[in-house]
Structure 1
């Protein structure tokens, strides 16, 4: 039986072009922690053209989560932004790509609306400001939010 995580990445790879990402280019690496090993999934985006694989170039964004947490994200049981705020996941690099990952994930299974709520007008990619600041944020073991403001001055977006 295929896991929700594998089904998510396989479905994204089969689409090859995602209209939600037509104004975006970059490399997102998703790190799934299994305890003794970490799986890496690369999502390379070039103006909406998407290539998914287990190897890729230097990522602009790294999204980290325990495999069991990402399984819930991929099945729509959990929201990625909520997981980040609760400290169940972390991201570093270009936060815009992490937000776009949320847009690609399915909505709640009990939703009566579109499967992916991001397909609504409120989540139009035109609403994301080009050149938005790059930040690094996450929760330390003490439970406090840490933000690296120097990352906002990091290099230009591709």
Structure 2
């Protein structure tokens, strides 16, 4: 597992209050495969909080990705939903957990808010 992946999962509990909204409640197991080996992460999501462990366990949803793809997701170079739709990763279970979890991933490099672009084009401050 890469150091970036470790840091990403370590950061989730402190970032959860800012990233998660609503009443997200459930457990997502994330399996990351690399070289005939699978690493497991269990992410327990509650309203405004997250607990992370390296365990397998009962989960409301299961997401499988290659470790290489996950590194691209946490750097903003790939998008989680697009990866699932292209069958680069698989997901089963409560889709709301996946949709909420993907908010932890950064936007692609160079992404700009279209509202900010429109304000600047109109000559108003952002």
Q: TM-score, length-normalised on structure 1?
A: 0.64
The answer to whether the 8 A contact 1:18-1:49 is kept is no
Aligned residue for 1:106?
A: 106
Cα deviation, 1:45-103, whole Å, max 9, x if unaligned, reads: 12222111112641101110010011101111000000001110000111111111211
Larger Rg: 2
The answer to whether the 8 A contact 1:18-1:50 is kept is no
Structure 1 residues 60, 9: CA separation in 2 closer, same or farther (over 3 Å shift)? same
Extract unaligned runs of 5+ from structure 1. 114-158
Residues of 1 paired with 2:57 and 2:16: CA distance?
Answer: 18
Extract unaligned runs of 5+ from structure 2. 114-126
> How much does 1:18 deviate?
4.5
Structure 1 residues 56, 87: CA separation in 2 closer, same or farther (over 3 Å shift)? closer
Greater shift in the superposed pair: 79-88 or 50-59: 50-59
Q: Say yes or no: does 1:7 pair with 2:7.
A: yes
- Greater RCO structure (CA 8 Å; 6+ sep): 2
Aligned residue for 1:120?
A: none
Aligned residue for 2:83?
A: 83
Q: TM-score, length-normalised on structure 2?
A: 0.79
Structure 1 residues 32, 60: CA separation in 2 closer, same or farther (over 3 Å shift)? same
Q: Say yes or no: does 1:41 pair with 2:38.
A: no
Q: Which runs of 4+ in 1 moved over 6 A?
A: none
The answer to whether the 8 A contact 1:64-1:89 is kept is yes
The answer to whether the 8 A contact 1:24-1:47 is kept is yes
- Matched position secondary structure for 2:17: coil
Aligned residue for 1:17?
A: 17
The answer to whether the 8 A contact 1:29-1:43 is kept is yes
The structure richer in helix per residue is 2
